[in-house]
Every structure is written in structure tokens, then in C-alpha cells.
Structure 1
Amino acid sequence: MKVAFIGTGSMGSLLIEAFLRSGALHPHYICASNRSPQKAELLAKRHPGLRVTGSNAEAANGSQIIFLCVKPLDYLAVIDELAGIVDERQIVVSITSPVQIRMLEERIPSKIAKIIPSITHSALSGASLCIYGSRILPEDRLLLEQLISSISIPMSIRETETRIASDIASCGPAFIAFILQQWAEAASRLTGIGRAEAISLGAEMLYGTGKLLTEGGFTPEELQRRVAVPGGVTAEGIAVLDSGLSRVFSSLIEATHRKYDEDLVKLDGLFNPPSGGTADREERA
């Protein structure tokens, strides 16, 4: 099965490396293209057999699955480049949350899916958010989820849930890392423990907590009850968190959704320019 990756920036490279490390894909079956060819060529040097092409169309031609790993505002140019190349048998996968499935289905004949990855896939873990277009058949979904399962847990969601699910699954590692950083710096400043030691302790704690919540059968509420003995130290700490964090996550969600809505407006304008816009002027010319 030939798989193409259009865009080998941060997330495109991460996915390629993860699929190769898991053994789900072999370098000889991967074709990559990138606006800056040096990035793709570095991947090819690290993984002999991986083919780098000079154009997106060449990468997509003959590929069963095509991952689009480019920035949202670059999608239209890439899709227009592929429009005359891809067909109804191929699966085109967008990894970018604000690009809507309908935008792609209106412009190319391929089967369309949206799969939002996470940096956690570098450790062959975390959740991939899966959304399927109207042309995806059950066997297409099975194929995609078998591939994604090699590096993550595929979770099917509605497209309307993309932003909030991405906040948790994709942005979450950065949010949690920021909290751990702040916690470690406060611990070092107030108690004298080394910052590196505090971060190491916190990282191991996060790893163990994740296993308790995923494999140990605990819910967040049950885990709190087991650790926070009434009147104890942990209970005192939770009281502080409860009073200080009650508004933080609401504000976080409001901020990410506001930015997401701004991106949607930009993409709608790009894919559906107003009458008299650039597309009309070019057509009249």
C-alpha cells in the first residue's frame, strides 16, 4: 500500500517517523513531498527507501492514502493542485482541524477523512480524532483505523466536536507540560528542590496517573477520593485548586474556540471568495 505525505513539517514528519517506528509502514511504500525539499530529503536519508518527489501531484499519483499535512491556509492551493490527479478510489486525509470535510469534498472526487493527530504519537500513544466524510466506506474506515491503531487509539467524533476534542487530545500535552513547568518552578523557588528533579517526579507521576485512568479502571473522581483523605494534605491542595482553577479551563476553551472560529472565517473566505473577488477577476481575465 503506497501512502503519500504532502507536507513534512513538524506533524507530517512526526507521523512518518511514528508509522515507521511502529512497523505499520515500510519506507519503500512512503512517498513524501514538501514545499522545502530539504526537510523531506532529511527523512529519506534517515529512512532509505522513502521516496521524495518534486511535486504534490506526483506524490499523490497512485497512492491509496494521501495525508495532507500542511497549514490551513495552504490547503486550497494543494487541493487545486491535486484536483486533476486524485480519483474516487483514493482516500485523502486532512490532519488540520479547521479545514472542513465539505470544503474538500466539493473540490476533489476522493474519499475524505479528517484525522487529528497528537505529539503523543511519537511515543506510540495518545488518541487520534477520526471524522469521516460521506464517501468513506466501512472498509475504508477499517483500513484507516488499522493504520492509526499502530501509533495511537483512534476515536471517532463528530466534526462539530473537533475543536474541544483537539483541545484535550492534541493541545493537551502542551497545556499539561505548561502546568508541570509552573509547578516545578514554584516548587524549586519555594522549597529548594531542583527544577529538573521536580519535573522528573512530575513526569513519572503523569505517566502513572495516565495508566491508572486508562488501564487501572479509575475515574478522575475515584482517583481523587483514593488519594485525598478528608482533612489531609491532598485535600487541602485540592481545595486550593478548586478555588483557583474553576474559571481557568472555561477561559481556555473560550480562547481556543475564538481562534478556531477566526480560522473558519478565513477558510470560508478562501474556499468561497465573495462575488467580485480574486477568483471572479481571474475567470473574467
Structure 2
Amino acid sequence: MTAPTSPLPSVLLVGCGQMGGAMLEGWMAHGLKPSVVLDRHDRTLPAPHHLAATLEDVPADFQPDVIILAVKPQKADPTLEALARRFPNATLLSVMAGRTVQSLTDRYQHGNPQAQPVIIRAMPNTPCAIGAGMSGLYAPPHATDTQKAQCDALLHAVGETVWVEREELIDSVTAISGSGPAYIFLLAELLEKAGVEQGLPVETARTLARKTIYGAGALLNQSPAEAEELRRRVTSPGGTTAEALKIFMAPDAWPAIVPRAVAAAARRAKELST
């Protein structure tokens, strides 16, 4: 989709932890219609935005364009029931891993049998805080183009977006890009430790590891070449890179471990749905 226009839709952000806070930073930078953050932790919000510790503290005349569900999946049910009584026909954007559209709708209607919410699911990641996020989204068939466009605008404001046609694919998005930054941070951590073991000062090893990952990621993002081809360009036959890749690409190393790790994350996402 095209770049988002300002101001962005007004939101009721329910939960402002790592993910909610990362998105909020990006939205503020792009211009956000007057919105409310529902969070028990003290934080400073610039006017005209409002912080509410409980749903009762949300201004009575506030009607958000989109309610963002950014609380822990296991703790969401009481909040969903309370929201249903206050905003029965809301558009909700859930960034919670695992919780399906049907399970969220059922819980919403448990709080208010007359409620008719439209729930769109998304899985963003923490680079949203610097405008470099990657979000996958799924909308049920009854979601309108306007509702989908509003949700896309919010997440496109903090990075890139892709839409999937089947809801179960959100679990795969979670395992690849939602959890993916942690995999990259682990690689940076391990490269830094390896550099220190090779005799480099800590700060030098840290800079080398971080800037290498940053530069390689930027090149990968901008190049039309496949990742495999970019890898080959760095790898001279019989050279230093080839020696390292012999270890990484051994049958019981990355080719086996990475798919297992991704499958474990996707499996956990499915478990959270129950």
C-alpha cells in the first residue's frame, strides 16, 4: 500500500509495553489524531493525547477509529469483556500472538452479547520504534476496505506491511518477523563474544558485530539479488568466509537448527490460541 497520510487514525492503545510502546513512538512521529493510551504505568503523553489507568478513566466522549490490543494474550479476556461493554461495534487491531479472530470475538461477545466487533490481526516487531518494522496482517472476510486501510496505515507508518490470506499464516509471520529481531540480536551477541575470544577489545568487537549486521541487512534490503546470491558473492572458494560457512552450513548446524527454531516459535503461537 502507499505511504500513510497524516494524521493517522485515532486509537485506543490497550497496553503500552515493548510492542505497544514501539508502535506509539512511531505514530507520534507521523502525527496521530487525539488518542488514548490505556496503561497502568505512569508515562508522559503530549497533548492532545490522554493516558488512562483504567477504562473508566477514558474520556466519556472518546470514540477511537481503531482499538489496538497490545496486552499479553493470557491476560486479555477481562479487558476484552470490558471493552465490549464500552465499544460494542469497534474495529480492533490485535497484535497479540496466538489469539484467533474467533476466540477474541467470542470473548468480546461474552462481555456483551450484542457486540459486533471487527477484529483484524497483525504481528509487528520492535523495529517499529525506529520506523523499520515489519508487520504481517490478516483481516476476516467481513472487514471493510476502510477498516483494513486504517489498520494498514497505522502499521505502515512504522515500517512495511504484508497481508496474508489465511489466518493460520499469522503464526508463521510471528515465527519469522515477529520473533526474528531476537534471532538477529542473538547473532550480534555471539559474534561480539567470539570477537573478544579472538583477542579484540570488547567495544571493537561490539562495533564490528553490530555494524556488520546493520550493513548486511541494508544491502539485503536494497539489492534485487537473492540472499543466496549475495552470500555467494562474499564467499571466495577456499577463503576465510568459506571456512566459516563450512561450520554454519553443516547438516546439523544452521540448515537444521533454523527451521526447528522457527517451527518452535510457530508452534508456541498456536498454543497461545488455546
TM-score by length of 1: 0.82
Which amino acid in structure 1 is aligned with residue 105 of structure 2?
A: E
**Cα separation, 2, equivalents of 1:119 and 1:206:** 17
Gap change, CA 1:235 and 1:166, over 3 Å in 2: same
Contact 1:12–1:69 (Cα < 8 Å) also in 2: yes
Contact 1:43–1:50 (Cα < 8 Å) also in 2: no
Cα deviation digits, residues 126-159 of structure 1 (max 9, x gap) = 3111111233111221222122211110111232
Q: Which residue of 2 aligns with 1:127?
A: 134
Contact 2:123–2:137 (Cα < 8 Å) also in 1: yes
Contact 1:93–1:112 (Cα < 8 Å) also in 2: yes
Cα deviation digits, residues 59-80 of structure 1 (max 9, x gap) = 4951111101111112211111
Structural mapping, 1:263-282, within 5 Å: 263-265=272-274
Query: SS at the partner of 1:153?
Result: strand
Query: SS at the partner of 1:43?
Result: coil
**Cα separation, 2, equivalents of 1:81 and 1:99:** 17
Aligned counterpart in structure 2 of residue 252 of structure 1, from 258, 261, 273: 261
Q: Which residue of 2 aligns with 1:52?
A: 51
Q: Which residue of 2 aligns with 1:24?
A: 31
Q: Which residue of 1 aligns with 2:174?
A: 166
**Cα separation, 1, equivalents of 2:158 and 2:175:** 19
Q: Which residue of 2 aligns with 1:118?
A: 125
Matched, 1:4 2:12: yes
TM-score by length of 2: 0.85
Contact 1:24–1:147 (Cα < 8 Å) also in 2: no
Gap change, CA 1:257 and 1:146, over 3 Å in 2: closer
**Cα separation, 1, equivalents of 2:66 and 2:273:** 25
Contact 2:192–2:205 (Cα < 8 Å) also in 1: yes
Q: Which residue of 2 aligns with 1:63?
A: 64
Q: Which runs of 5+ in 1 are unaligned?
A: 266-285
Shift of 1:54: 4.2
Gap change, CA 1:77 and 1:134, over 3 Å in 2: farther
**Cα separation, 2, equivalents of 1:112 and 1:209:** 37
Query: SS at the partner of 2:48?
Result: coil
Gap change, CA 1:249 and 1:184, over 3 Å in 2: same
Shift of 1:199: 2.1
Q: Which residue of 2 aligns with 1:199?
A: 206
Which amino acid in structure 2 is aligned with residue 102 of structure 1?
A: Q
Cα deviation digits, residues 96-134 of structure 1 (max 9, x gap) = 121101122332412111121211111101311111123
Which amino acid in structure 2 is aligned with residue 32 of structure 1?
A: V
Higher RCO structure, 1 or 2 (CA under 8 Å, sep 6+): 2
Query: SS at the partner of 1:49?
Result: coil
**Cα separation, 2, equivalents of 1:185 and 1:142:** 44
Contact 1:101–1:114 (Cα < 8 Å) also in 2: yes
**Cα separation, 2, equivalents of 1:43 and 1:135:** 37
